Structure 1
């Protein structure tokens, strides 16, 4: 690693660790704490992935959506086939997620769902996945920031909602709990 980059990285780490410790010692609290509320749980069935291969940005892999469901107190919907995750595998093995899908609500309205996020697994989780076994949530990091587009009035509130999903991947499906950031 370049000595300047190494020094810069070490300085950032030191600053982060020391400022975090000082904040704890002085009893500092954020001026604007994060407030969130559970929106819904999502289950998505996936088709086999499509490996595009190396691109200038990394290894592109598409995970087509077979279907799925959204279940929550204010939103019940079916995730329609045809969407997917146009993931980019980075040099460190993690995936940069680019998710696009369409949901049909229980009363027939359509909502587009767009997500950007990160996914990575521990070496043990990768081995379990390659063997076709379920992978424990503790063996993976799966986070997605979601935005929505809804035309129907009962769902217009989604147009002004940023949501974060905490997920779990296993071969053939993903499950996420999604929270609105208030």
Structure 2
């Protein structure tokens, strides 16, 4: 019984010392940046949490270390503007790479200060771009200070970039 008690004590002590250590942050890798041009906002009206506001995506451009291209003028950001004037995005857009790949982009998030953060997913069946479907992605975005409407967006992947991504460039 004494062995059992000592073993439990040793395990508890080890667990406490491990729990006190700060874990390492994951490596973050830049995937792309974009300038997004929204259309005129469409106010849907009050919903739980704020006012649903649709920002049509009129176009834009993106660039990065793995691919470049444009935003097709078919997406929307069906976000919520809170009573304290914060924007909670819920966007879907289509990225069109310079070599013709169509990639669906989805972003959901929240605003803190003047920056909007989001969780991003990509979806594509385009040959050579399937690796995008497997990434864990985060975004940071800001409305342009001069107009308050255009959006600058940056997307980063957590962890290592797959080797097949590096073959395309």
Bin of the TM-score, shorter chain as denominator length: 0.7 to 0.9
Gaps of at least 5 residues in structure 2 are 1-16, 160-169
Residues 1:162 and 2:154 are matched in the alignment: no
- Residues of 2 paired with 1:55 and 1:177: CA distance? 28
Residue 174 of structure 1 corresponds to 151
Per-residue deviation, 1:120: 4.7
Q: Is the 8 A contact 1:99 1:116 kept in 2?
A: yes
Task: Report which of the two structures shows the higher radius of gyration computed on alpha carbons.
Answer: 2
TM-score, normalising length from structure 2? Answer: 0.75
Map residues 27-106 of structure 1 onto 2, 5 A cutoff: 28-30=21-23, 33-106=25-98
Q: SS of 1:53's equivalent?
A: strand
Which string of whole-angstrom CA distances, capped at 9 and with x for unpartnered residues, describes residues 35-75 of structure 1?
11111111101112111111245310011111011101101
CA 1:77 to 1:87, structure 2 compared with 1: closer, same or farther past 3 Å?
same
- Residues of 2 paired with 1:179 and 1:164: CA distance? 5
Which string of whole-angstrom CA distances, capped at 9 and with x for unpartnered residues, describes residues 12-40 of structure 1?
xxxxxxxxxxx9xx98220x532111111
Residues 1:110 and 2:102 are matched in the alignment: yes
- Residues of 1 paired with 2:55 and 2:155: CA distance? 20
Residue 149 of structure 1 corresponds to 123
Root mean square deviation, CA, Å: 2.0
Q: Is the 8 A contact 1:93 1:120 kept in 2?
A: no
Q: Which protein is richer in helix relative to its size?
A: 1
Residue 10 of structure 2 corresponds to none
Gaps of at least 5 residues in structure 1 are 1-22, 122-139
Runs of 4+ in 1 over 4 A off after TM superposition: none
Which string of whole-angstrom CA distances, capped at 9 and with x for unpartnered residues, describes residues 112-146 of structure 1?
0000011254xxxxxxxxxxxxxxxxxx0211211
TM-score, normalising length from structure 1? Answer: 0.70
- Residues of 1 paired with 2:111 and 2:54: CA distance? 14
Q: Is the 8 A contact 2:87 2:116 kept in 1?
A: no
